[in-house]
Amino acid sequence: MTVSRRDFITTALAGSVAVGLSTDAGATQESSEKKNKEKHAAKLPIIICAANGYNYLDQAYAFLSGGGDTLDAALKVVQGPENDPNDESVGLGGHPNEEGVVELDACCMHGPTRTAGSVGGVRNIKNVSLLSNTVRLHTGHIMLVGEGAERFAVAQGFQRENLLTDKSRKEWLLWKETHSDWWGPGIDSPDWRKRFADPTRAGIDEDEWELRIRRMEQVAAEIGIPSGLRMEVIRCVIFPPTGTIHCSALNEKAEISGCTTTSGLAWKIPGRVGDSPIIGAGCYTDQDVGSAGATGNGEENIKVAGAHTIVENMRHGMSPLEAGMDALKRIVRNHNGDKERLQFVDMVYYILGKDGAYAGVSLWEGYETGKPHQIAVHDGNRRLEKTVNLFAGASQSWPPVRRLS
């Protein structure tokens, strides 16, 4: 993807404007819920996942249709992005932490046996989804983290490898030199406005963008980032892409499983663990009800135990869409409905009921206007569908871009 400076500034500012004009999608939600229910009539087997799993659905679907286990099918999907050095949100090539080290998180739940495994903050091991499954199968524990998880992986035959690609390393260098300011109030803090140059307003104007981008272009050139890639890399630094992949699979016997894997938030503080490996937040599967998973701001999702909340909502009779919307509304409630703050939260839920009904829901339409969040589905027909969003407009990245000194 090549992005010109002009496009970049325009789309970034357009995003802010769209947020400013956004209206609650509640009014349209009811009718889209109806449509969604009709559209999502059950067809088994079925696999749902985040959009970055789309290319890997065919082989996993063939495996599942041929009688393969539901968790093994989901793991087949998520290994695709884990092995792909160009997917910078998962596994090999994932964005590193603030010290330039890739740290991965994953978890899985196997519905038929009601078992789970999880790993957090794992370095040097690419397929952490498989590692979480190995924890499930070969230990009496549920969750292993850090060095212990890495040593366990090696003992189990996983290979240590360098997960930092040259591209990710250069992006990290650019971030380090121009943006490394994680410490300080987050959106949770009463002092959140202190992150802005002008604490009376949560935005920046076009001149500030121009200046900042120009400075970043200079640093990017010094680091050796080719000119054609510079705007794309700058975008990654300013708007660290959340990515991750969740996948849930359901077979004709109504057995269901799920897994989630990620390199987590780009440029995080070493040791930071997000929602992805947290059973009940990044993924939750209950053989009696269904399965759900999340991508987006892990911190916000942990506070509402998103995946578990959704499955419990379905247990009490909600459709996948209603269950997901309710979880999103809990995030909104945690910020007293303040959209000025919520514009910095991005959240997508992928939901599959035990009857095969499914939904993809998101807090905002996408990271950028015109590029909606999507859910990938395979029930014999592989496709991408736009998620149903609670708010109109695009989310913005946190921390906000600050005035150049």
Please tell me whether residue 298 binds ligand ASP under the rule CB under 6 A: yes
Alpha-helical (H) ranges within 194-294 are 206-223, 227-238
Q: Closest approach of Cβ 56 to ligand ASP, in Å?
A: 18
Please tell me whether residue 293 binds ligand ASP under the rule CB under 6 A: no
Q: What distance in Å separates the CA atoms of residue 186 and residue 207, rounded to the nearest whole number?
A: 25
Q: Residue 155: in which H helix or E strand, if any?
A: helix 146-155
Residues near 3 by beta carbon (within 8 Å), at least 6 away in sequence: 231, 232, 235
Question: What single DSSP character describes residue 391?
Answer: B
Q: Closest approach of Cβ 277 to ligand ASP, in Å?
A: 9
> Contact at 8 Å (CB) between 109 and 284?
yes
Contact residue for ligand ASP among 243, 320, 366, 400 (CB under 6 A) = 243
Both structure tokens of 322: 């209603």
SS3 (DSSP) at 362: strand
Contact residue for ligand ASP among 275, 286, 312, 322 (CB under 6 A) = 275
Q: Which stretch binds ligand ASP (CB under 6 A): 212-220, 272-280, 336-344, 381-389?
A: 272-280
Selecting among 244, 261, 262, 285, the annotated active-site residue is 244
Please tell me whether residue 276 binds ligand ASP under the rule CB under 6 A: yes
Q: Closest approach of Cβ 385 to ligand ASP, in Å?
A: 19
Q: Which stretch binds ligand ASP (CB under 6 A): 22-30, 168-176, 239-247, 283-291?
A: 239-247
For CA atoms 227, 233, 237, 238, give the dihedral sign: positive
Contact residue for ligand ASP among 16, 118, 262, 313 (CB under 6 A) = 262
Contact residue for ligand ASP among 93, 203, 274, 360 (CB under 6 A) = 274
Closer by beta carbon to ligand ASP, 81 or else 353: 81
Closer by beta carbon to ligand ASP, 52 or else 134: 52
Q: Closest approach of Cβ 43 to ligand ASP, in Å?
A: 28
Active site residue 200: no
Residue 144's nearest CA partner among 158, 163, 165, 162 is 158
Angstrom CA distances, 343 to 81, 187, 288, 366, stand at: 28, 10, 35, 11
> Contact at 8 Å (CB) between 331 and 341?
no
Q: What is the per-residue binding string for ligand ASP in 33-72, x denoting contact by CB under 6 A?
A: ----------------------------------------
Counting residues that bind ligand ASP (by CB under 6 A) gives 13
Sequence-ordered strand ranges (E) for 71-207? 104-110, 115-122, 143-145
Span 84-113, contacts to ligand ASP by CB under 6 A: 89
**Binding residues for ligand ASP (CB under 6 A):** 89, 242-244, 262, 264-265, 274-276, 295-296, 298
